[in-house]
Structures are given as C-alpha cells and as structure tokens.
C-alpha cells in the first residue's frame, strides 16, 4: 500500500491519479488547491 492509500477512501486507482498529478505524499496534498487539481486532471 502506498502512502496515499492511508487516506480513508483512497484506493489504488485514486492514488495512481494523484501521483500522475504530482502528489506523491500526504504532505503534498495538504495545501493543494482542489480547483487547480481538477484543472490539471482535465489536461491529462
């Protein structure tokens, strides 16, 4: 299990998506802007 899967509700697929967006640690998600995350995801 990766570090991001320690977050309740985050499984393998969500972790993979977050890593593709550049979020590899829980700390990197802490101050992430949800709107910016969505915009990045739309570009992938």
Q: Give the pLDDT of residue 9.
A: 96
Q: So what's the pLDDT on residue 44?
A: 83
* Domain coordinates in residue numbering, the chain: 3-43
Residue with tokens 């910016």: 36
- Flag whether pLDDT at 1 surpasses 90: no
Look up the pTM and report it. 0.82
DSSP 31: T
How many angstroms separate the first and last alpha carbons of the chain? 24
pLDDT in tens, 3-28: 999 999 999 999 999 999 999 999 99
């Amino acid at each position: 299990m990766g570090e991001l899967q320690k977050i309740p509700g985050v499984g393998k697929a969500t972790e993979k998506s977050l890593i593709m967006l550049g979020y590899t640690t829980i700390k990197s998600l802490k101050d992430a802007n949800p709107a910016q995350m969505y915009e990045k995801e739309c570009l992938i």
